[in-house]
Chain A
Amino acid sequence: MIQLFHVYKTFSGDQQALVDITMEIEKGEFVYLAGASGAGKSTLLKLMFCALRPTRGQLLVNGRNVARLGTKAIAYLRRNIGVVFQDFKLLPRLTVEENVAIAREITGAPRRDIRRQTYSILKEVGLAHKLHQLPPRLSGGEQQRVAIARALVNEPQILLADEPTGNLDEERSAEIMGLLEQANNRGTTVVVATHDRNLLESANRRVITLEDGRVAER
């Protein structure tokens, strides 16, 4: 599903965020990206949904080399990759429903379908009663769930989540991880970046650890 061959990412000023990364994530897999702060987890995820381009190396998503895709192709690729951002990236002036619907609207789906699908996914993450709330009025955990709903509403093949349990207590974290597991059970390939040790130990999943931008697989 996702393959990297000798991928490098260097930021301006010789800041080497990723060095010679080679890895493969299978279709339907659930993988954790671990590593200390600054190890390069977010950078790696950004490469996967083409928010950044690799400085060097090949990156294949669904068998396609995405290193040199044009803007239009990137847009279409992203509809197939749900992303839960570290900072949620919700629009504060749109309601919960509208925030989720946006991801459907851009595909040109009929309005009625959008309403139905948006409602159904929000119900799944337990926010059916907060449809018309604005994100700033929600708790951190609720915002996280809106972000997950938006990432999943297009039924993507890949779900990328960056610190989805960032600053949530254990109970809320478990709820969130449950939602990601559910998506994975339906066949979505899931990649979760985290430095939450509890999560990694309890999950019993494959873990790819980054250290200073390099893979240190155990």
Chain B
Amino acid sequence: MMRRLFYFAGKGFRSVRDSPGISLLTAGTVGATLFVAGLYVMALQNLEGLALIWGRTATLTAYIDDAVPPEGREPLRARLEAFEQVEHAVLVSPIEALERFKARGASAAALVEGVSEEILPASIELQLEGGFADLTAVEKLALQTRELPGVTDVDYGQQELERLQTLLDLLRMGGLIAGILIAIATAFIVSNTIRLTVYARRDEIIILRLVGATNGFIRTPYLFEGLIWGLAGGGASALMMWLADVSLAPQISIAVANVVGGLNIHLFNLEVAGILVVAGVFLGVFGSGLAVGRFIDQETS
């Protein structure tokens, strides 16, 4: 059993060595496609990181009903701070709110010039525990807050967060579909490339059959060949991701720092690298099997 395996592996290795052009082409196809797919996955992961940071810095503001007397505000704040997801709850009085508004600039200050603080509601700002990536958790908290007696409205930048979430969902969905399409296309390209090698060796295949080789015997070296190509291509794509991570990621991080502080762009992690290599092996072996299968089923005479 082991001897057979070594025999087939040896044959696979030899045919890779004997056709370096086609081997390079196949491994290159696998590598390039997987690299593109890998970049996509990493872009998605970075966007998710963005959502996380956004969520962490987000505050939730609960506006207090004017009917609540000033001495009723503190108990409300305490109740909100008692919520599990809330780290801090800070009371913002109408005066403070007015000051903040004025602090925005001269034109804002001019706008509220002479306005009594009465027109602004008191509010409580909630700093969220730990941080969250998940819109539903924020929404749940917002709902709980709104149901408290004395709270008129809740604001947590829901529109922005929702938009980001929708974008992420779309990208994930798109990524899944694109991933499947890319996989099919690559398997097809790989199988066609491999068909070239199989075609170049059709005489050998025919003769092997005529002297009594089983289909399995004929097919297995090609599967090993596909395995080698897939490993090489998958490994190369992982390596390219790593190189991109080392050389490009820091620059991108600096470039986006103005927009979102604290976002560290990553283009490589071991999980993705592992997936790329496994996907490469799958594509190589599957494409190879497809190519020989199509050839092997034909009649000899």
Q: A and B: partners?
A: yes
Q: Is the CB of A72 within 8 A of B3?
A: no
State whether A150 touches B211 (Cβ < 8 A). Answer: yes
Whether B212 contacts A106 by the Cβ 8 Å rule is yes
Q: CB < 8 Å: which of B3, B7, B207, B215 contacts A89?
A: B207
Q: Among residues 74 to 93 in chain A, which have CB atoms less than 8 Å away from a CB atom of chain B?
A: 75-80, 83, 85, 89, 91
- Of all chain A residues, which has the CB nearest B296? A71
Considering the chains assembled together, what is the distance between the CA atoms of A203 and B40 in angstroms?
A: 76
Q: Which residues of B contact A72 (CB under 8 A)?
A: 214-215
Residue of B7, B210, B215 touching A105 (CB-CB under 8 A): B7
A91 touching B204 in the complex, CB below 8 Å, given contacts A105-B7, A110-B3:
yes
Contact A75 B204 (CB under 8 A): no
Closest CB in chain A relative to B258 CB, distance in Å = 62
Interface footprint category on B = 10 to 19
Give the Cβ gap from B300 to chain A, nearest Cβ, in Å: 6
Report how far A107 CA is from B3 CA in the complex, Å: 13
Interface contact B207-A91, CB-CB below 8 Å: yes
Tally inter-chain residue pairs, CB-CB below 8 A. Answer: 53
Please name all residues of chain B whose beta carbon is closer than 8 Å to the beta carbon of A108 when the two chains form the complex: 4
Q: Give the most central of B4, B206, B212, B301: most A CB within 10 Å.
A: B212
B213 within 8 A of A: yes
A75 x B214 contact (CB < 8 A): yes
Instruction: Name the B residues within 8 Å of A105 (CB-CB).
Output: 7
- Which 4 residue pairs are nearest across A and B when measured between Cβ atoms? A78-B212, A79-B212, A106-B213, A75-B214
Known: A52-B301, A72-B215. 7 other contacts (CB 8 A): A51-B301, A71-B215, A72-B214, A78-B211, A80-B212, A85-B210, A106-B212
Q: Which A residues form the contact surface with B (CB < 8 A)?
A: 46, 49, 51-52, 71-72, 75-80, 83, 85, 89, 91, 102-103, 105-108, 110-111, 150, 154
- The contact sample of 28 A-B pairs, CB cut-off 8 A, is A51-B210, A51-B300, A71-B214, A72-B214, A72-B215, A75-B209, A75-B212, A75-B215, A77-B212, A78-B210, A78-B211, A79-B211, A83-B210, A83-B211, A89-B206, A89-B207, A91-B204, A91-B207, A105-B7, A106-B211, A106-B212, A106-B213, A106-B217, A107-B212, A110-B3, A111-B3, A111-B7, A150-B211
